[in-house]
Chain A
Amino acid sequence: MPIINFDNSATSFPKPIAVKNAVLTAMNQYGGNPGRSGHKLSMDTAAAVFGARQEAADFFGAEAENVVFALNCSHALNMAVKGVARNRPGCHIIISSLEHNSVARPVHALYLQKRCTYSIAEVSHDDDITIDNIRRLIRRNTAIIVFTLGSNVTGQITPFKRIGELCSRNGICFIGDAAQIAGVRPVKLSDGINIICTSGHKSLYGLTGTGLLISDGRYVIHPIMEGGTGSTSLELTQPDFLPDSLESGTVNTVGAITLGEGIKFVNKTGIQTIYQHETLLCDRFISRMLKFPSVKICRDSRIKDYLPVVSFNIDGLTANEAGNLLSDKGFALRGGLHCSGLAHNYLKTSPNGTVRFSPSAFNNEREVDMLVNAIECIV
């Protein structure tokens, strides 16, 4: 039985044909270690990796050298949060009530190590209230605000441009978690975000094991890991320039090249086209679900603009049970806490969590209708 994937917020599947082809091309042609040698294999690979770096730079409005390849978004966020905080011992950090553990855990770890204090700003349905909530928490030593740009649980989009302005006015480093929004809605450094962190394998359609840290260069990011970079090799200290300072060890060349192709796919398809397509699928799903009284959709009717992600629950079933039953019927939806305990606590959907419906550019209306029919059998 073929599986229909509606768990694209965890990782997108299927991948575009161009991405699949890029894997083969990379394996066949780009087998060198970039930045480590002068031979053709190494140089060709370095050029291919640079091409992907430039693609990401253009996509997020950055300079290519300020694009760092990471293992995933958690890795990028750890580098950003811990790397910036290191220069500010005892600083205060603000995060949102919708954070994924990729933000909450590194910040909490810094707190346990007595390297920072932190506060949680409640995200409201009303952006004015959200901004006020943040403003009230700002202290003299607030150095970093880390906010999800769009929730991986509800799809709520945070007012990140206004947060950027607030950070800029107060000399605060703004780190944005773009894991769910990148590839669906435009996000640029010019939105006031100092460091954008994202996965590469979700709506950017690269392989798993890819992520990006994109800096505007304003804040020094100390490395959380040192090692070989292919540069300044006689020195025992890590290079202080990007991307080398944060890219120790051999980069995931195949992953980076596929990520570049994934971004090209998003550009070619059109980010607005993808957003509209996925939003239509979500709207269709929600409208069909309304006929089932036992289904509770986790959306706030006062919020008009969501990322194409829908969380829901079915009375009488835990989220995991519902996910498993749907899996038996050939559908992949993620049930549980989505690594976002804070968000589920805030939404009062903890400890059960929710079932999450997250389409990609490759899903269609027929598949949504098939899912609805499957849900009808279990409600």
Chain B
Amino acid sequence: MHEFDWSSIPGSLPFLWQGMKVSLEITISAVVFGIVWGTLLALMRLSAIGPLAWLAAGYVNLFRAVPLVMVLLWFFLIVPHLLESLFDLPRGADVRLISAITGFALFEAAYYSEIIRAGIQSVPKGQMAAASALGMTYAQAMRLVVLPQAFRNMVPLLLTQGIILFQDTSLVYVSALADFFGAAYKVGDRDGRLVEMLLFAGAIYFVLCLGASRIVRHYQNKLKTA
């Protein structure tokens, strides 16, 4: 039977809190940027302009085909140095946080665009037809009729994807950036208390994510009754 020793936790709380801030910062920036860029991608993909649709599909499929870890690794090790040599920037800046946010945002946009596309497609065709019949242009119909309905249906999925993203921030370990999970892991490894630190981290994630998904649920129910 495993013996537990939780003594590593109190001393490491400030470090864990730093890590939590990194996790939240990455999550929030990636969700905001991801939804904006994802919506554009979804619209491009559904548009009647061939090259646009083709480009968006290529982007989405590429990012969906590569594991997030690999994307982060590319954005950490290779992209910054390409940019540095292209724009003659000073070398060796600490790009860990910015590269993580960029990698996450571009990656998540691909997922958001799929959710949003499915949301748009779930709106019955008649809505579009009705809007056109009222004399709206395609853009007006999208903005005023289709997108509001689609987003309404999609909000729970979008937020749920945000919760998944929050859990995935642990993958930033590739750049030795300490998010909450990474901080807990490092302390556990250093003190030989991995199991305890990971159980602790798991419990915190569970409480936060459960809380967040309850809020999503509440919102969902409100939508239904509205």
A and B: interacting chains: no
